[in-house]
Structure 1
Amino acid sequence: MFKLKVHKSRFGAVLAATRNSTTTTTHGNHYQYLQNSKLPTLYFQRSLPRLPIPLLEKSCERFLAAVQPILSAEEHRETQQVVEQFRQGVGMELHAKLKQRDAANKHTSYISEPWFDMYLTDRAPLPLNYNPLLVMRGDPRPEYQPQLTRATNLIISSLRFWRSLQANILEPEVYHMNPKKTDTASYRRWMAIAPKAFATYASYAFKAFPLDMSQYSRLLGTTRIPKLGKDELVQSPHSKHILVMRRGNMYAMNVLDSSGYILSPSVILGRLKSILEQDSQREPASVPLGVLTTAQRNDWAQTRAHFISNPKNADLLQREVDAALFCLCLDSVEDGLFDEANPVPMLKHQLAGKATNRWFDKSLSLLISADGVTAVNFEHSWGDGVAVLRYFNEVYKDMLQQPFVSAGTPHTPADGDTINVRPLNFEIDEKTRAAVEAAYAQNASIVESLDMNYLQYKQLNKGTCKRHGLSPDSIIQLAFQLAYRQAFKRYVGTYESCSTSAFRHGRTETMRPCTMATKAFCEALLQPAQRQPSAGELRAMIDKCSSVHGQLTKEAAMGQGFDRHLFALRHTAQLEGLPQPALFETEAYKRINYNIISTSTLGTDTVVAGSFGPVVKDGLGVGYSIQNDFAGAIVTSYKNQAQGKEFIDSLESAFDQICAIIERSNSAAKTEMSK
């Protein structure tokens, strides 16, 4: 999970030739666009099915099943009574109103608006609470790894992605069940002649599933603006510049010309180089304004309102910071270097850190350390992992296949060019200075209280799972349940995110990995040795856990979970001014939504580490993946609130036990067959 080396086979042969300003026709399509899809980017958008609202009865059943492992028998009986009253009473009324509202808004999904509101009304600081971190795999070629080189190539590839999206020639996002058969020119030819109103359903015949792309337009050029009570998202999709931060100093740098074309690699390289040179002649920012984006949202809203009461500050902030396409954070040596043997300091720094060189309100920030280690930190309200991961993969692949500059590429000097490279010199008064100091102290205290632990477990990997017919995600989630149970002697609310992007304006659904099947397995395994089931029986229980997990995942992906439905019903009651239904006051509802174990994974080899903060103070934030050579997990927790180290140690033990069961059951099966 932490190796920054590249496995070249993932993307095939890397092109040897480096493109630079002397070999690139900068206004040619080859340079200006990442892709030139035969199918328009939004070709399937119109025909995507709408996110279904589950049957009320089914959501009630699924809720009761999900809470059963974390309740006593008496608590579950009491919850059943409340749920039945809800189902026959106010739940029916709220469900009818939700369906009525959904029918009147066929352009979107029933969850989209309330989910945006949920994010934008929460007053918690963005770092640790919302903004996730994705660390990018390194470049295997030393000449492309230096910070300046990597930053230039990242900028160009990002702009190529963005311009392709805006020109509607980025490949549509499609999940191919069998890419070798359907991710082909033949598939695209068939889709091109399908009526647009039915294109998605035509694609289903090929077992290729188009995904919603409505979030992509906010990937770049978007900023979350703090407001009292509820923030707002502001878009500037046609901006020509990016925001560059270095040691807390802020610069606006033009990367597109007046006609919207990407500038030549040598020009972009020269402008970045001039920022580094300028900054070396300056002191670090004495009042690093980016720290304000770590504050509680109402505090930041009040500080911002005061700050922009100065017309110069208002102009600079809105024109240069809010409107920037994205934020590029160039960290210095003082911010630390990546140590593969101990990645925690760098990961903590990139996840939240001192925040003196960050602007967490931007939809997307590229973080590049002094040694070229690259990460993405993104604001979460505008969208989910599907859009970010597509961007992440495409940009990485582009940099591998056709980097436009190397360590030896000549640059176009930009010394003294204050039109295209603009230092942002704000007027800072004592009230703003005090607000920055307070925000810095508060963030530093929170980050200091954050504990981070990690595990690489090499005995379990993609190959192991394939050989033994195991579901990788199910096995890891089962290990989480076993680890928590044996370390802390209980079962708790567990969250796994599942995308519903197969539907128009789908967001996410919650998959609940703590099930009666996982509980039965854990209890059986933790019995004294003489009462423990055989390896074959335990393996059968693992298969049962996998089957249940797979079914729940399928239901969630198809919009047939219960969490979002109940959330929407609760939101409907609020909109209608109705009293809070008793269901939402039950211990069961509170407990299932108090996610002690919050988990997330992104299945791609381009991400070498992913991390986020716990969602509750005494909880665990678990970023995990299973790769070709190991299973990995990064666990965050707050000191004196949760025991992340104990969980990680227990997780290693859980992996050991599960792998031992699999090996023993296989050996027993072979012995039986040989008789």
Structure 2
Amino acid sequence: MAEAHQAVAFQFTITPDGIDLQLSHQALRQVYLSGLRSWKKRVTRLKNNVITGVYPASPSSWLFVVIAILATMYTRSDPSMGLIAKIQEHLPKYGVPTHELMNITLLWFSLIFTMRLCLKQLLSYHGWMFEQHGKVSNTTKIWAAMVRIFSGRQPLLYSYQGSLPNLPVPAVKDTVKRYLESARPLMSDSEYERMTTLAKEFESSLGNRLQWYLKLKAMWASNYVSDWWEEYVYLRGRGPLMVNSNYYGMDFLYVTPTPIQAARAGNTLHACLLYRRKLNREEIKPVSPHYMRTVRIGVHLLVFCVYLDSLIHWQDSEYVAVFHRGRYFRLWLYHAGRMLSPREIEQQIQRIMDDPSPPVPGEAKLAALTAGDRIPWAQARKEFFSSGVNKRSLDCIEKAAFFVALDDDEQGMRGDDPAGNLDRYAKSLLHGKCYDRWFDKSFTVVVYKNGKNGLNAEHSWADGPIMAHVWEYVMTTDSFQLGYTEEGHCKGDVASSLPPPTRLTWDIPAECQERIERSLTVAQALADDVDFHVLPIQEFGKGAIKKCKISPDAYIQIALQLAYYRNRGTFSLTYEASMTRLFREGRTETVRSCTSESCAFIRALEGGESKEVCRRLFRTASEKHQQLYRMAMTGGGIDRHLFCLYLVSKYLGEESPFLKEVLSETWRLSTSQTPLQQVELFDFVNHPEYTTCGGGFGPVADDGYGVSYIIVGENMINLHISCKHSCPQTDSHKFGADIKKALEDLLELLSPEKPDPSKAEQNHSKKSKKDL
């Protein structure tokens, strides 16, 4: 085995005859090649750091500036009109060549700083987002041209990071006003009057003081929200990650590229490595025109502690941890300084599957510790996994590139009950058996017995769109770039010298096994309570919605409001996730989708108002939703600002009844859209069978719904609906039917009315008689 070879590359023993020195040439070669590969990566990272550091200029531009300055000196011309000479008076004096090179280099850095400042100001312009679709103003045209000029020709993935503007801190007055506007349709007159009084008191007294501290933080922090959001939303929670925080992504809906489990794992793992290599080399292009931020998918791990978890990032890892039938293995993905081919990974996976050894006591359900409450896992980690063989094996899992679960179940939309099987597939990815996913890891790749796959992702290190980008690349590369043989195996040859995967060893005492069982009991109760329904809607999609000249997202959000009103007989505070990746280190913001305008439309529709009135109210509600979404994306959201003000009040020991009440509100309808086709690796129009099902998450509130949706092509919308069995008022299947009916009713309302053939014939007859 590779790591064993490295361990015995050099060893000696002392005997009565002297020192016995032994060298393993094969192991030394492996160490050499591994070190060489590591140094190549460091050189690549250094090169990219230099290129990114001088962006939007380029390293070669320094030579251009040198030649230009020397040419002006030689011709005794001064295009700067004395500015350069004035600057040189204040610079230190060296030898003539050194002096000139130093001055030129400082001038070059000044130009870089100026260009970066200009680009930052350009990227601070968001007027293009608020313009009517298809109508671009002259200001936006000039802005786009200037951005292209200052952006350079081929920016790397992280080139824009230093030029992205900081997230602005909204005025307290504006945030309070927008909050009261969002709360109005959800409160009675007396409740709204009371909340208005609390808001005005906060705005005129404590709010300004808290705002001063928040602005002070925004002056030195690149993002005044992100670090607090990560700590208090993800790292300080003490409940289980499973269901409550982690989310999942599914495979293709109709296609399974191969029925061979090991082969599917081979291509999937190889595609993950290809993505990571492109990421390390920064070969993934920034998304235009928004210049969105992409997070590194290196080795991330959430380490549970008693009071505050730690998010740890390792720079690189050359292996994955694999779980199969209660056993854990280390699978090296590199050999002799190169990446293993898909066929070689398939062979290694097959070796794991053919291993007949049983799990040791406590090993099979060990991962249940990561599925239950965090404090028991933190305590067990300290007591039983802080030294010896258990620490070495745990370190192996935690420092792996990611976690792989080889599942013995068959999943997918198949058999006599495709809808029910699809629901079970989603639940399997969300929580599995509660002990066959490592929920602390950045993500777990799950490969099923029939070749279906999927993933379960931890939330603190990256939001859904990041993993959607990764998973879309992996799936399309798997099917369209790598492919399979006619027999369903991975393509390529196998090196005969590959060492087998390593079985991890454990010594788990009886007391620890009891802790594992207790965590498993907690996790199973949580998993059994999840009511999940995946609903593919194939009757219509984005194409039909766009014919109505409506934003697809606004259309779906209003349909969700209508469905919830029909389902519960009332309106609810609604969370829609929006991205703030137009700003440096931006993550998410909340769009409060339940508005006075949407409520007015729904009341009119359900009250039997005329189609003309309902259409007018719907378009007003749609425009309001789009306005709120754009405001959230451009830093004008409500909830992140109030969240940070609340934290400042806690740090200062100040109580705010207004902030306390706002932060304790329940999101009974939590929604999120999964982006699609962030990478263009295949033509979806010509391959409609490769429809992705998207992904989903668990319910946020005990008495509410979680809804994730993905708009697939022109003719399909997939919904992932979650709630809890323990709440008698919620039912995922009933709510799914309500959503589908709402979508259909809105389409019928908004679609242009077809002319009546009989009336058209009568009009034509009258016109003919008139002509005669």
TM-score when normalising by structure 1: 0.82
CA contact (8 A) 1:621 1:636 kept: yes
Deviation readout 1:499-530 (Å, 9 max, x if unpaired): 11111000100001100011001111121xxx
| Structure 2 residue aligned with 1:637 | 723
TM-superposed deviation, 1:589: 5.0
| Structure 2 residue aligned with 1:230 | 308
| Structure 1 residue aligned with 2:521 | 441
| Structure 2 residue aligned with 1:429 | 509
| Structure 1 residue aligned with 2:448 | 369
Change (3 A) 1:384 1:441: same
Deviation readout 1:67-124 (Å, 9 max, x if unpaired): 111111111111111111111111100011000011022xx20011101112100111
Change (3 A) 1:414 1:570: farther
CA distance in 2, matches of 1:72, 1:256: 64
Q: Does 1:352 align with 2:431?
A: yes
CA distance in 2, matches of 1:561, 1:338: 39
CA distance in 2, matches of 1:281, 1:309: 26
Q: Which of 579, 582, 588 in structure 2 is aligned with 1:502?
A: 582
Change (3 A) 1:424 1:671: farther
Change (3 A) 1:667 1:620: farther
CA distance in 1, matches of 2:195, 2:341: 64
Q: Does 1:161 align with 2:161?
A: no
| Structure 2 residue aligned with 1:127 | 242
CA contact (8 A) 1:352 1:447 kept: yes
Q: Does 1:572 align with 2:648?
A: yes
Which deviates further from its counterpart, 308-317 or 518-527? 308-317
Q: Which of 646, 650, 653 in structure 1 is aligned with 2:734?
A: 646
CA contact (8 A) 2:249 2:468 kept: no
Q: Which of 685, 697, 700 in structure 2 is aligned with 1:612?
A: 697
CA distance in 2, matches of 1:158, 1:590: 40
TM-superposed deviation, 1:255: 0.6
Structure 2 residues not aligned, in runs of 5+ = 1-35, 49-152, 678-690, 765-772
Q: Which of 55, 67, 76 in structure 1 is aligned with 2:171?
A: 55
Deviation readout 1:110-167 (Å, 9 max, x if unpaired): 011101112100111011100011112268575x452211211111111111122112
CA distance in 2, matches of 1:63, 1:429: 54
Q: Where do 1:111-510 residues align within 5 Å?
A: 111-118=225-232, 119-137=234-252, 140=255, 142=257, 144-168=258-282, 170-174=283-287, 176=288, 208-213=289-294, 216-217=295-296, 219-257=297-335, 259=337, 261-278=338-355, 280-282=356-358, 287=363, 288-318=365-395, 320-333=396-409, 338-339=413-414, 340-342=418-420, 343-403=422-482, 406=485, 407-408=488-489, 409=491, 412=494, 417=499, 421-510=501-590
CA distance in 1, matches of 2:584, 2:742: 39
Task: Tell me the SS of whatever aligns to 2:339.
Answer: coil
Change (3 A) 1:412 1:109: same
Change (3 A) 1:165 1:632: closer
Look up the equivalent residue of 2:589 and give its one-letter code.
E
CA contact (8 A) 1:329 1:367 kept: yes
CA distance in 2, matches of 1:439, 1:654: 41
CA contact (8 A) 1:511 1:552 kept: yes
CA distance in 1, matches of 2:373, 2:497: 39
| Structure 1 residue aligned with 2:213 | 97
Deviation readout 1:549-599 (Å, 9 max, x if unpaired): 1000100111110100000111111223x222121233x5533xx110011
- The sequence identity of aligned pairs, in percent, is 26
Deviation readout 1:341-388 (Å, 9 max, x if unpaired): 321112111111212211011101111111121212110011212321
TM-superposed deviation, 1:666: 6.5
TM-superposed deviation, 1:336: 5.1
| Structure 2 residue aligned with 1:10 | none
CA contact (8 A) 1:364 1:377 kept: yes
Change (3 A) 1:546 1:417: same
Structure exhibiting the larger radius of gyration computed from Cα positions: 2
Change (3 A) 1:78 1:667: farther
CA distance in 2, matches of 1:86, 1:611: 37
TM-superposed deviation, 1:664: 6.8
CA contact (8 A) 1:500 1:508 kept: yes
Task: Tell me the SS of whatever aligns to 2:305.
Answer: coil
| Structure 2 residue aligned with 1:72 | 188
Look up the equivalent residue of 1:493 and give its one-letter code.
L
CA contact (8 A) 1:211 1:502 kept: yes
| Structure 1 residue aligned with 2:10 | none
TM-superposed deviation, 1:657: 2.3
TM-superposed deviation, 1:413: 7.1
CA distance in 2, matches of 1:499, 1:285: 45
Task: Tell me the SS of whatever aligns to 2:162.
Answer: helix
CA distance in 2, matches of 1:538, 1:665: 14
TM-superposed deviation, 1:411: 5.7
Which deviates further from its counterpart, 600-609 or 407-416? 407-416
| Structure 2 residue aligned with 1:599 | 671
Change (3 A) 1:472 1:133: same
Deviation readout 1:633-665 (Å, 9 max, x if unpaired): 221111131412332232233223222212475
Q: Which has the higher contact order (CA 8 A, sep 6+)?
A: 1
Task: Tell me the SS of whatever aligns to 1:126.
Answer: coil
Task: Tell me the SS of whatever aligns to 1:160.
Answer: helix
Q: Does 1:554 align with 2:630?
A: yes
Task: Tell me the SS of whatever aligns to 1:227.
Answer: coil
Change (3 A) 1:454 1:312: closer
CA distance in 2, matches of 1:446, 1:494: 23
Deviation readout 1:227-278 (Å, 9 max, x if unpaired): 011110122222111111112311111112464x412334322212211111
Change (3 A) 1:71 1:544: same
TM-superposed deviation, 1:405: 5.2
CA distance in 2, matches of 1:415, 1:346: 38
TM-score when normalising by structure 2: 0.72
Task: Tell me the SS of whatever aligns to 1:46.
Answer: coil
Which deviates further from its counterpart, 507-516 or 431-440? 431-440
CA contact (8 A) 1:596 1:619 kept: yes
Change (3 A) 1:238 1:456: closer
Change (3 A) 1:104 1:141: closer
Task: Tell me the SS of whatever aligns to 1:643.
Answer: coil
Task: Tell me the SS of whatever aligns to 1:210.
Answer: coil
Structure 1 residues not aligned, in runs of 5+ = 1-26, 177-207
CA distance in 2, matches of 1:463, 1:59: 36
Which deviates further from its counterpart, 230-239 or 265-274? 265-274
TM-superposed deviation, 1:459: 3.7
Q: Does 1:660 align with 2:748?
A: yes
Look up the equivalent residue of 1:583 and give its one-letter code.
F
CA distance in 1, matches of 2:755, 2:738: 26
CA contact (8 A) 1:250 1:424 kept: yes
Change (3 A) 1:273 1:474: same
Look up the equivalent residue of 1:621 and give its one-letter code.
G
CA distance in 2, matches of 1:401, 1:389: 18
